[in-house]
Amino acid sequence: ETGVTQTPRHLVMGMTNKKSLKCEQHLGHNAMYWYKQSAKKPLELMFVYSLEERVENNSVPSRFSPECPNSSHLFLHLHTLQPEDSALYLCASSQAYRGINTGELFFGEGSRLTVL
């Protein structure tokens, strides 16, 4: 496996379900991100982890809960979602040198989420 891999690629869930999205990066990077991509909107940054510590949380509803157990893995736990949460969820990683992040992101293929 190379790059950034996300599973599942597609997920359909009801509003009362609990599910998780998984991301794994094989690039040796030390920062990982969750982005949300909706139609006709720019990519929205949800969470940033640097060295397994959450450094940014962009006012994301609590029904989204991130988890970063180590620098290679990132999860997004989903609970009691709304239909408007249907979107493509993208994981990305990057490398920070001495605290300065180059900003160059390496994305996974995304998890297409549909909430019924």
Partner 1 sequence: TQLLEQSPQFLSIQEGENLTVYCNSSSVFSSLQWYRQEPGEGPVLLVTVVTGGEVKKLKRLTFQFGDARKDSSLHITAAQPGDTGLYLCAGVSGGYQKVTFGIGTKLQVIP
Element (H, E) at 67: strand 64-70
Indicate whether 13 belongs to the interface with partner 1 (CB under 8 A): no
Instruction: Indicate whether 12 belongs to the interface with partner 1 (CB under 8 A).
Output: no
Q: Is 52 among the residues that bind partner 1 (CB under 8 A)? A: no
Report the site for partner 1 in 97-116 (rule: CB under 8 A): 100-110
Q: Which is nearer to partner 1, 75 or 79 (CB)?
A: 75
Residue 92 near partner 1 by CB under 8 A: yes
- CA angle (106 as vertex; 29, 41 as ends), nearest 5: 135
CB atoms within 10 A of CB 18: 12
Interface with partner 1, residue 4, by CB under 8 A: yes
Judged by CB under 8 A, the number of residues near partner 1 is: 25
Q: Is 76 in the site for partner 1 (CB under 8 A)?
A: no
Place of tokens 């001495």: 98
Judged by the rule CB under 8 A, the positions of this chain that interact with partner 1 are 4, 6, 40-43, 45, 48, 50, 55-56, 90, 92, 96, 100-110
